């Protein structure tokens, strides 16, 4: 067990979840923008790209939801550990899980940014 500021870890989790909520809303907005820009397109190649982006927006919304749920479960675990351990200890396993979730969070943000960049290029064509 390691003594660390559990409140800081819990705060990080809440921050990650809020950011992911905003990212999910952003994916929804991009989907709406895609529908509006492609509503009168009949080019088969263009429609294939539109379908690709629709699928990616949907898949990333699922990925965001799944990661938010994992973070929420982890946050509850942190809260339970801090409530049961008055000395502020957090189990090593929980700290490792926190680091794994942070890595997954950063990776997903990178993926979302790449998707936004690719979509920006597509829209500007």
H/E segment holding residue 2: strand 2-3
Note the pLDDT of residue 3.
Answer: 45
Note the pLDDT of residue 86.
Answer: 61
- The whole-model pTM stands at 0.89
Task: Write the burial class of residue 46 (CB in 10 Å: 0-12 exposed, 13-18 middle, 19+ buried).
Answer: middle
Closest to 96 measured CA to CA, from 68, 114, 123, 77: 77
Note the pLDDT of residue 108.
Answer: 98
Proportion of the chain above pLDDT 70, given as a percent = 94
* Residue 24 neighbours by CB under 8 Å, 6+ apart: 61, 64, 65, 68
Domain positions in the chain are: 2-124
Closest to 109 measured CA to CA, from 59, 53, 63, 50: 63
How many angstroms separate the Cα of 39 from the Cα of each of 33, 43, 114?
Answer: 10, 11, 24
pLDDT above 80 for 4: no
pLDDT, tens only, 40-96: 778 888 899 999 999 999 999 999 999 999 999 999 999 988 888 766 678 889 999
What average pLDDT does range 6-16 have in this prediction? 93
Check: CB of residue 36 under 8 Å from CB of residue 125: no
Average pLDDT value over all residues in the chain? 91
State which of 3-12, 83-92, 116-125 shows the largest mean pLDDT.
116-125
């Amino acid at each position: 067990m390691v003594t660390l500021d559990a409140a800081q870890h819990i705060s990080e989790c809440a921050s990650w979840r809020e950011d992911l909520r905003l990212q999910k809303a952003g994916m929804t907005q991009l989907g709406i923008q895609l529908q509006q820009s492609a509503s009168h397109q009949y080019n088969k190649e263009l429609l294939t790209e539109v379908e690709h982006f629709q699928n990616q927006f949907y898949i990333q919304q699922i990925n965001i939801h799944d990661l938010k749920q994992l973070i929420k479960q982890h946050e509850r675990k942190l809260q339970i550990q801090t409530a049961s351990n008055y000395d502020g200890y957090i189990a090593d396993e929980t700290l490792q899980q926190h680091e794994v979730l942070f890595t997954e969070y950063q990776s997903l943000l990178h993926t979302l940014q790449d998707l936004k960049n690719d979509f920006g290029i597509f829209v500007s064509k």
